[in-house]
């Protein structure tokens, strides 16, 4: 679809937004949200007729792009047949969505508890783990994000936790491996893996293994920087969990459903957790949906004992119909395979080539259509281009980079000192190359801030 300009309509949308919408994670008087007129595939456009290639996939969830006709049609058909129904009943779209998801999860994670999104999935996974083990504590990593609800925000390991962290949630944070900014002074991936596992074991020992219900990790951390764990790390965590009777939870809210070139990122590491949380890509965010995939052992805990949790809209028929259609589209159009191919042949090589030419790029990392550029002031010291959690004038370099991206028709994912390349999983080769060209131009702006 070709966008056309309608500034008057855009002004009305913006005025109503500014008068009545309270935006998340924002100082309300300091934001200027773009009024969006439409979207299709990998692009969206505003009311002034400006079109942007979306390298954010919304919030890393439109894995099949915007307005896929088959998913839109499935939602319309479900709305005409049964628009909503309570979660205690067996409903066709709900049953089918659960089966299709279970068929793609690793191991025996064959029972699906539906939620409305990723944060609620994490909340319920932790509740299941605590009830299953009878233990109170949860371990999670710094440099992580698990959601904005009460438990999930405390499990989160980035600054969004700080305002809500009252220190009573039973959460203990530890350092996961990240060689580029190693907390363990490692020089190789094998050192980083071994030292991170030792650190985790030490943390467990000093907290008391008998007090720990779960270890929650993003399989590949997303918003925190797309740090692919070194070979052997997740397998090592799995072994530690087995040894101490700790539930192993992998958060695949962002990394799941094709994002890394496999259905679930855990497949890259040949690891089966006890619980997987998912959302976002399960139906490309067309209707809110998330959930927990549950192992046979944990599901059996609640065979005779009621699970004390539920949601009014759990397994909403419209959301589940969208999931069924999305999964079918991903199969028919080989979307997962496309994500793997684009990562291997276009994004990976293209981003590494940009790094060779732009001194502001300290490291390139990722898989599939899940990539991050770590931007730095000094490649030797790895000093970030802006300070950790920078705001205002301290964040000027990243603000200038982001503005340059938009000027070149690219909507970027920018967080702290990083930009993430996370287009739709069905992005074309030509679109990916268009995004790389826009990044190339914007990185020239970032280069001006290199020491």
pLDDT, residue 451, reads: 81
The whole-angstrom separation of Cα 427 and Cα 337 is 11
Look at residue 382 and tell me whether its pLDDT is greater than 90: yes
Q: How many residues belong to the chain?
A: 451
Phi, psi angles (nearest 5°) of residue 190: -65, -40
Q: Average pLDDT, stretch 334-351?
A: 98
pLDDT classification of 165: cutoffs 50, 70, 90:
confident
Look at residue 310 and tell me whether its pLDDT is greater than 70: yes
pLDDT classification of 169: cutoffs 50, 70, 90:
confident
pLDDT, residue 266, reads: 98
Look at residue 174 and tell me whether its pLDDT is greater than 80: yes
pLDDT in tens, 149-161: 989 999 999 999 9
Look at residue 326 and tell me whether its pLDDT is greater than 90: yes
How many CA atoms lie less than 13 Å away from 1 in the CB half-sphere?
20
pLDDT classification of 167: cutoffs 50, 70, 90:
confident
Burial 131-152 (b: 16+ CB within 10 A, else e): bbbebebbbbbbbbbbbbbebb
pLDDT classification of 166: cutoffs 50, 70, 90:
confident
The whole-angstrom separation of Cα 135 and Cα 128 is 11
Mean residue pLDDT across the chain: 97
pLDDT, residue 168, reads: 75
Helix crossing, 335-342 with 317-332: angle to 10°? Answer: 60
The whole-angstrom separation of Cα 250 and Cα 226 is 15
Look at residue 222 and tell me whether its pLDDT is greater than 90: yes
Q: Which residues contact 204 (CB under 8 A, 6 or more apart)?
A: 139, 212, 240, 244, 246
Q: Average pLDDT, stretch 116-139?
A: 98
The whole-angstrom separation of Cα 241 and Cα 367 is 26
Look at residue 399 and tell me whether its pLDDT is greater than 70: yes
Look at residue 116 and tell me whether its pLDDT is greater than 80: yes
The whole-angstrom separation of Cα 399 and Cα 392 is 9
Look at residue 256 and tell me whether its pLDDT is greater than 80: yes
pLDDT classification of 1: cutoffs 50, 70, 90:
low
110: left (phi over 0), alpha (psi -120 to 50) or beta: alpha
pLDDT, residue 91, reads: 98
Pairing status of strand 370-378 against strand 361-367: antiparallel
The model's pTM is: 0.96
Look at residue 79 and tell me whether its pLDDT is greater than 70: yes
Look at residue 6 and tell me whether its pLDDT is greater than 70: yes
pLDDT, residue 4, reads: 83
| Structural domains for the chain | 7-64+334-447 (3.90.1150.10), 69-332 (3.40.640.10)
pLDDT, residue 3, reads: 78
The DSSP-derived string for 414-438 is EETTEEEE---TT--HHHHHHHHHH
Best CA proximity match to 282, nearest among 251, 314, 316, 320: 320
Q: Average pLDDT, stretch 68-88?
A: 98
Point out the least confidently predicted range of 1-5, 115-119, 193-197, 226-230: 1-5
pLDDT in tens, 408-445: 999 999 999 999 999 999 999 999 999 999 999 999 99
Look at residue 343 and tell me whether its pLDDT is greater than 70: yes
């Amino acid at each position: 679809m070709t966008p056309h300009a309608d500034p008057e309509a855009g002004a009305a949308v913006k005025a109503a937004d500014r008068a009545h919408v309270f935006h998340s994670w924002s100082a309300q008087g300091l934001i200027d949200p773009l009024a969006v007129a439409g979207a299709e595939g990998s692009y969206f456009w505003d009311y002034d007729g400006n079109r942007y290639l979306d390298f954010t996939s919304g919030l890393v969830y439109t894995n099949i792009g915007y307005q896929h006709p088959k998913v839109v049609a499935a939602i319309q058909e479900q709305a005409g047949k049964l628009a909503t129904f309570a979660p205690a009943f067996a409903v066709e779209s709900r049953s089918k969505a659960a089966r299709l998801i279970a068929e793609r999860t690793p191991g025996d994670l064959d029972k699906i508890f539906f939620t409305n999104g990723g944060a609620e999935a994490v909340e319920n996974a932790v509740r299941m783990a605590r009830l299953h083990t009878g233990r109170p504590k949860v371990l999670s990593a710094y440099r992580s994000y698990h959601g904005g609800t009460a438990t999930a925000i405390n499990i989160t390991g980035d600054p969004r936790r700080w305002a809500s962290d009252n220190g009573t949630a039973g959460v203990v944070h530890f350092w996961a491996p990240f060689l580029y900014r190693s907390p363990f002074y490692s020089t190789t991936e094998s050192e980083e893996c071994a030292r991170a596992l030792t650190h985790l074991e030490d943390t467990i020992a000093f907290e008391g293994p008998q007090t720990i219900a779960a270890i929650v990790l993003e399989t590949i951390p997303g918003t925190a920087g797309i740090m692919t764990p070194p070979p052997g790390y997740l397998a090592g965590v799995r072994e530690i969990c087995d040894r101490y009777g700790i539930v192993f939870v992998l958060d695949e809210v962002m990394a799941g459903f094709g994002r890394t070139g496999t259905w679930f990122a855990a497949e890259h590491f040949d690891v089966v957790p006890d619980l997987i949380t998912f959302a976002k890509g399960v139906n490309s965010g067309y209707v809110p949906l998330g959930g927990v995939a549950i192992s046979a052992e944990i599901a059996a805990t609640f065979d005779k004992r009621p699970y004390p949790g539920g949601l009014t809209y759990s397994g909403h028929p419209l959301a589940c119909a969208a999931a069924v259609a999305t999964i079918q589209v991903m199969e028919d159009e080989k979307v997962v395979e496309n994500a793997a191919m684009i990562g291997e042949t276009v994004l990976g090589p293209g981003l590494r080539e940009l790094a060779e030419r732009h001194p502001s790029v300290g490291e390139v990392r990722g898989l599939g259509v899940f990539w991050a550029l770590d931007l730095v002031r000094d490649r030797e010291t790895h000093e970030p281009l802006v300070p950790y959690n920078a705001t205002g004038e301290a964040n000027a370099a990243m603000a200038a980079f982001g503005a340059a991206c938009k000027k070149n028709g690219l909507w970027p994912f920018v967080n702290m000192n990083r930009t993430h390349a996370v287009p739709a999983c069905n992005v074309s080769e030509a679109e990916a190359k268009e995004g790389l060209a826009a990044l190339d131009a914007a990185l020239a702006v970032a280069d001006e801030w290199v020491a």
